[in-house]
Amino acid sequence: MITIIFYILAAITLASGLLTVLSKNPVHSAIYMIVCFFSIAGHFLMLNAQFLSVIHIIVYTGAIMILLLFTLMLMNLNEQHEPVKKVASRIAATVSACLMVVLLLGAFLKATPTIEAYKAAEIDFQSVKVIGDVILNEYLVPFEFTSVLLIAAMIGAVLVSKRENKA
């Protein structure tokens, strides 16, 4: 039964992820992304990570997608208003995407699972106290980098949506 649920959630995740990328309408793409986020939260529930599942639904599906939908509707994206991208920006985007793939591939290859150490510790890793201790002790620097990245994204969103004055 669990295997069937996993395959159903995996199919929903893959299908909605593909539809997110391939959809021509940005609002439809955002809705497909919401479906993808809900199915990922289902995967977290199957892994017995209830805290992570609830946080995923609250943060990603709730806050970020609502913000994205409002931004898409505010900007009123149409192809006729979209300027043609320069070749240099396309090359820079391709190079940065390739570097990100290489970086993620290196991280996946160097990662080692530590599941056996967690089973031997006999600690409830679903506890909010344990999660807070791990984030604020072992992963403080990536946590702070994430906050700086989110602030930069907010500033970028404000600058993109800011209208130019034609004087």
Question: Would you kindly state where each structural domain of the chain is located, as residue ranges?
Answer: 1-82, 85-112, 114-167
How does pLDDT run along the chain (167 residues), one tens digit per residue?
889 999 999 999 999 999 999 988 877 888 898 899 999 999 999 988 888 888 888 888 877 777 777 777 777 655 555 566 688 888 888 899 899 999 989 888 887 766 666 666 666 666 777 778 888 888 889 889 988 988 888 888 777 777 666 65
| Among 43, 55, 39, residue whose Cα is nearest residue 2 | 43
Q: Which two tokens stand for residue 105?
A: 């591939």
What distances in angstroms separate CA 101 from CA 29, 49, 78, one per listed residue?
23, 27, 30
- Listed in sequence order, the DSSP H helices in 23-164 are 26-46, 50-56, 65-75, 87-110, 115-121, 128-133, 140-161
Contact 41, 14 (CB under 8 A): no
For the whole model, what pTM was predicted? 0.56
CATH number of 1-82: 1.20.120.1200
Q: Which two tokens stand for residue 46?
A: 């199957």
